[in-house]
Structure 1
Amino acid sequence: MSDSGIRRAGAGENDQYDYIVIGAGSSGCAVAGRLADQPGVTVALLETGPDDHHYTVWAPVGVAKLAVKENPRNYGYHTAPQPALNNRVSFQPRGRGLGGSSSINGMVYIRGHRNDYDRWAQLGCRGWSFEEVLPYFRKAEANGRLPNGRDDAFHGAHGPLHVCDQRTLNPFSRRFVDAALQAGMRLNSDFNGQHQEGVGLYQVTQYNGERWNTARAYLHRGDATDASFSGGRDALAVLTGTIALRIEFDGKRATGVRVLRDGVTRSLHARREVVVCAGAFNSPQLLLASGIGPGEHLREMGIDVVHDLPGVGENLQDHIDITIKKAVPTADLYGYSWRNIVRMIPELMRYRRDRTGMFASNIIEAGGFTRSQAGLTEPDLQFAFILALVGSRGKNAGKKAPPGYSCHATNLRPKSRGVVRLRSRDMREAPLIDPRYLSVESDMDNLVTGVRLIRRIFAQPALAQAGGRELMTDDFGPGEGDEHAIRAYIREHADTLFHPVGTCKMGVDELAVVDPELRVRGVEGLRVADASVMPTLIGGNTNAPTIMIAEKAADLIRAAVH
């Protein structure tokens, strides 16, 4: 894919822009692209990492390499030791480079439950109910299922973000769906339609068998008819390899950003607004490093307080989940054996020829949503069926696992709350991340139910007939399983599903960081527009909601000058 459509900013570029957007991830690309579509407006998009032109980004199977360990396109953060996880440190992948986490994620397109957004509105986030955000989901989306390119009640056909069904369905994905139906779940062909509950096949952010990240959607300007099209905007300057060191202020007004680029420190000035889109970890980190946050913490770090805002870095929420694995000796699944390696050779040729086959898979083709107990108003558990044995993450990643399959059970609305703080005032150092996983006992109870439901699905004929053996669950025992053993297993193996949100939460209470128009409270000319503004986690994967937030943010920003 050519990058000729992006105007690169060089050393001689103008340091004055109407808008400066910090972070070219799922939200930043969308905000910058939409703002740059305005006539007579100039936008600078700052990104620490490289461009997204690499085979591991655009080949969907590359997720197996990008998401699980630190690399040039993944910050690879780690949490503080987690007491409820036997003091384990959790690996926290975050995308680094154009497209951000949309360049390394599993590409699963899920919006969440309509009740999630109605709760935001009930919490004082005026304008963020489901009916009010649905138009932005539709605006962003180009769903390949829509006949004749016509929008329907829930989906868009003409947006920049391609959403489609898997081009080549793995037979084990169908086995999982059939097994879940045999276990009593119902079929759902569209998790983003009228109802979320049920089991089925996930839609993904791909086009013609390639990942469709937000850089392709909003920067490279690929459209719904030609994936190779690349059209630039003279108004948009994309600055890769650029570290935002701090936001600069004149009194209480944000005036620009101090950056480090090519070894040179300089200031970029924003005539209208600075928009922070650096994600749930780096957005609060940047605000803190710039003097906005809990005053006591800032003074401890030797940072002058611009505005004492106690909620910055608070309210960290993340989806924690548990995985059950089953080794199955078949070349239909991903893993290391001579038979699997031999199969990958023609599969690679197939992908290079027509973008189909096992290299076109995101490895997470099927899943579903269910309720852990009767009486709940919406599903609180999500399943993600993986066509491989989920391996180690972080520094231990790369160990060769045999072929098999896994299934995640995710607690969709955890009650545990964590925090992000500074380790130092230097933005080049990773922040302190403490999710406080399972610090509320009900979160553990939810995962126990999830383990039992997965094993019930695995025991159904559709999957059991394929053979194989479960790994590390011998002491669970028959039937429902020994609860003590299951809880011990969760403490030793539960981990993040990579969906941190909430650390610059939107709202009207004393811990709100931004108001419902995403303006940082107590200062002027500064907004946050990414997953960090979510007051509560949504019931599903967070990439699609983050893009929705960016689409709405662009409209809010444009409206401010009229």
Structure 2
Amino acid sequence: MSIQIFRIFILVIMRILSTVVIRDVGEHHYDASGRLLDRYDFIIVGAGSAGGVLASRLSEIEGWRVLLLESGGAPPRESNVPALALGLQQGEADWKYFTAPQRYAQMAFPNNVSPYPRGRGVGGSSTLNLMIYVRGNRRDFDHWEALGNPGWSYDTVLKYFKKAEDYRGTRNRATASYHGKGGPLVVDDKRWSAPLLRGFLNAGQELGYNIIDANGPEQIGFSVADMNIIDGIRASSAISYIKPAAGRPNLDVAFNAHVSQIIFNKEKRAIGVQFEQRGKLHTVYVKREVILSAGSVNSPQILMLSGVGPSHHLREHQIPVVVDLPGVGQNFHDHPILFTLSWLTNQRVSTSIPTVMSASAIKEFAHNKQGPLACPFAIEGNAWSLSEEGDPHWPQLQYVFLSSNMAMNYGFVLSDIIGYKPEFFKKYFGSVRARYGFVIAPILTRPKSKGSITLTSRDPKTSPRIDPNYLSHPDDIKTFIRGIRFALKIGNTTALREDFGARFHDKVLPGCEGKLYDSDDYWECYVRHVSSTVYHPAGSCKMAPSSDTMGVVDHKLRVRGTEGLRVVDASIMPLVTSGNTNAPVIMIGERAADIIKNDWGAPTTHL
């Protein structure tokens, strides 16, 4: 059975299950496309994590009419089943993007190109992600403010993390003051764990690290992953923010509305947007503001299509220049990850497709929303190690612990989604296919390599050029090598080696045969071949003071040189946070909503 046929088989089963078991959750019948007004107070472009927050919060003001435009449709029903998260990539809710060929990385990928999943549809990437809730490090936000962005310190943004949160977990009672209750976004304990999780946590303690609340006062340590899952169902922004607000008479949500450009008047004020829907071009005007929340790939693309960006690049595509803003699309960066560091075990303790798709697992999910289907596939925990440069408590590395080795299911899940060359995967992992094991995956949390988003065409439906420029900075290689050596220490602890018989898959990586095994040169070759995205793009519309010539938005997220236009999503991050990005993007949406309300004289919570 081919990988694609296998995936289709699994998706059909899960669609049937989700239709029968969670029918009410899967309904998103609030498309208002047939009754749109000619003019709104606010137009929000993109119904992802930030856009959903903005639509909900701005429509709290009864006198404001709000339009939320989404290029995709309703979330697929199976997106509600947490275990199917990886299977959604390259499907109907994904933009199906690819990176540009990488010069310094991705050598184990066809033409040095890898898939670059981005959510398309109501909920955005929160319908595709692995639902891990990580806010980042307090120093991330203090650094944003120190760069000249007042109002973005940790003490300020913590209020918005708590405002968004409805914490239902039981593990972190000692850090309850860092958590919120009653917010739209449910954060809960994992509902099922493989036995290997115990070994991972014990390994951390054996190495001298504490078991921590990753969203508490400090981040260094080992933790069980907190999840955006509500009663066993994915808590996307579609479920948490958009659907509850969609019944308000002052909020309209339009599905399958692909924005082609922002319309400006002669004073460079945003006065509306054009979008294509079902083959027809529409124009809607705005009284107050247009807000771009299309994400780190599409927000800079839409700005450039609208004439806001580097003037030389716009002229290359015959786009009239409204504002020469050289920083648009620059400063683009991402968290690279190594999914390939695999260990074998002598026990049947891993997560596998047969485990997740067993009759007992389906029954447990159907009746109780418990069991392996109620958790993202194989995701167990995280760790952050002490930094060897600068502040030791501002980590350069995160480690994801997966209770499945890369080849355990014959590559049906991980290898196909990541996109390695089939011949490379077979050569490296062929001897351990279907074997039980686990992965410890290092992530660069503060990468120094920067890339860009640029246009390939003035056609709004043509994908932009996505170039993360992975590993172009030599320090990223050095940090990754430190991460590999720490991951090897974790895997070699007695907690994993003796209790589970863990043995590292130490086959020489194809393409690195000429390097001395376990030398820095060997691991550099390894990293340049197999590192890939962990789906956390950021920075392409950087928030910065006016003294920074590459800034795009100010600390109130207003686009330079324009009026009535803001960007609110991960693209405004000066530097990506030290962890998974969905939680901070929701925080950005919450804070931006208060900033906007305050600017227009409406009541706010924390300003």
Give the alignment's TM-score, normalised by structure 2.
0.85
What is the one-letter code of the residue matched to 1:236? L
CA distance in 1, matches of 2:83, 2:138: 31
Whether the 8 Å CA contact 1:372–1:450 is kept in 2: the answer is: no
Which residues in structure 2 correspond to 1:456-535 (within 5 Å)? 456-465=489-498, 466-467=500-501, 469-471=503-505, 473-474=507-508, 481-508=518-545, 509-535=548-574
Q: How far, CA to CA, are the matches of 1:54 and 1:125 in structure 2? A: 40
- Answering whether residue 160 of structure 2 is matched by residue 136 of structure 1, we say yes
Tell me whether 1:421 sits opposite 2:436 in the alignment.
no
Provide the aligned C-alpha RMSD in A: 2.5
Per mean C-alpha deviation after superposition, the further-off stretch among 546-555 and 485-494 is 485-494
| 2:74 matches 1:51 | yes
Give the helix-richer structure, 1 or 2: 2
Deviation for aligned residue 1:342: 9.2
Is this contact kept in 2: 1:6–1:232, CA < 8 A? Answer: no
Question: Could you say which residue in structure 2 is the equivalent of 1:127?
Answer: 151
The one-letter amino acid of 1:241's match is: N
Which deviates more, 105-114 or 83-92?
A: 83-92
Instruction: Name the structure 2 match of 1:299.
Output: 315
CA distance in 2, matches of 1:396, 1:49: 28
Which amino acid in the other structure matches residue 265 of structure 2?
D
Return the offset for 1:231: 6.8
Deviation at 1:370? 0.8
Question: 1:347 is matched with which residue?
Answer: 361
Partner SS for 1:153: helix
> CA 1:186/1:119 → structure 2, altered by over 3 Å: closer, same or farther?
same
Q: Distance in 2 between matches of 1:489 and 1:507?
A: 36
Q: How far off is 1:389 after superposition? A: 2.7
Residue 531 of structure 2 aligns to which amino acid in structure 1? A
Match of 1:537 among 572, 576, 581: 576
Q: How does 1:1-400 map to 2 (within 5 A)?
A: 1-2=24-25, 7-55=30-78, 57-67=79-89, 70-85=90-105, 86=107, 88-145=112-169, 152-188=176-212, 190-221=213-244, 232-251=247-266, 252-323=268-339, 324-328=341-345, 331-335=348-352, 340=354, 344-362=358-376, 363-373=378-388, 376-377=391-392, 378-390=394-406, 391-392=414-415, 393=417
Instruction: Judge which range, 258-267 or 327-336, deviates more.
Output: 327-336
Change (3 A) 1:18 1:333: same
* Counterpart for residue 451 of structure 1: 484
1:404 corresponds in structure 2 to: 437
Is contact 2:94–2:117 with CA below 8 Å preserved after alignment?
yes
Amino acid at match of 1:297: H
User: Residues 491 and 504 of structure 2 are in contact (CA less than 8 Å); yes or no, is this contact kept in structure 1?
Assistant: no
CA contact (8 A) 1:335 1:404 kept: no
Q: For each residue in 1:58-109, what CA deviation from the matched residue of structure 2 results, as whole angstroms up to 9, or x when unmatched?
A: 1110112124xx1111112111111111361132111111111111111111
Give the Cα separation in 1 of the matches to 2:396 and 2:174. 32
Q: Is the 8 A contact 2:401 2:439 kept in 1?
A: yes
The count of corresponding residues between Structure 1 and Structure 2 is 545
For structure 2, list consecutive stretches of 5 or more residues without a partner in the other structure: 1-23, 407-413, 427-432, 602-607
Deviation at 1:263, TM superposition (A): 1.4
CA positional deviation for 1:146: 7.2
Task: Tell me, yes or no, if the aligned pair for 1:520 and 1:528 is still in contact at 8 Å.
Answer: yes
State the AA in 1 paired with 2:559. V
Q: Deviations over 1:249-278 (max 9, x none)?
A: 112011111001121111011111100000
Q: How many angstroms does 1:388 deviate by?
A: 2.0
**CA separation in 2, counterparts of 1:418 and 1:209?**
37
Q: Residue by residue, what CA displacement relative to the aligned partner does 1:345-378 show, whole Å, maximum 9, x if unpaired?
A: 2111111111111111223221111124265342
Matched residue SS, 2:162: helix
- Deviation per CA, 1:204-244: give whole Å up to 9, x if none: 111111110111111122xxxxxxxx872111111111100
SS at match of 1:365: strand
Alpha-carbon distance, 1:53 to partner: 4.7
Letter in 2 for 1:58: N
Q: 1:317 to 1:273 in 2, by over 3 A?
A: same
The CA deviation string for residues 445-489 of structure 1, in whole angstroms up to 9 with x for no partner, is: 011011111111111122223235433544799x99322221111
Cα distance in 2 for residues equivalent to 1:114 and 1:330: 39
CA distance in 2, matches of 1:80, 1:191: 33
The one-character-per-residue Cα deviations of 1:7-28 (angstroms, maximum 9, x if unpaired) are 3213343222111100011111
Q: Describe the SS at the equivalent of 1:349.
A: helix
Name the aligned partner's letter for residue 440 of structure 1: H
Distance 1:317 1:504 in 2: 11
Are the aligned partners of 1:372 and 1:446 in contact in 2 as well (CA < 8 Å)?
A: no
Shift of 1:394: 5.5
* One-letter identity of the residue aligned with 2:132: V
Q: SS of 1:27's equivalent?
A: helix
* C-alpha displacement of 1:498: 1.0
- d(CA) in 1 for partners of 2:181, 2:207: 35
Flag the 1:396–1:417 CA change in 2: closer, same or farther, 3 A.
Answer: closer
For 2:565 and 2:306, locate their aligned partners in 1 and report how far apart those are by CA, in whole Å: 12
2:599 — aligned with what?
Answer: 560
TM-score, reference length from structure 1 = 0.92
Question: Structure 1 residues 172-181 or 199-208, which shifts more?
Answer: 172-181
Are 1:507 and 1:535, in contact at CA under 8 Å, matched by a contact in 2? yes
Letter in 2 for 1:59: V
CA deviation digits over 1:261-302, x for unaligned, max 9? 121111011111100000000000000000000000000001
Q: 1:513 to 1:375 in 2, by over 3 A?
A: closer
Amino acid corresponding to residue 347 of structure 1 in structure 2: A
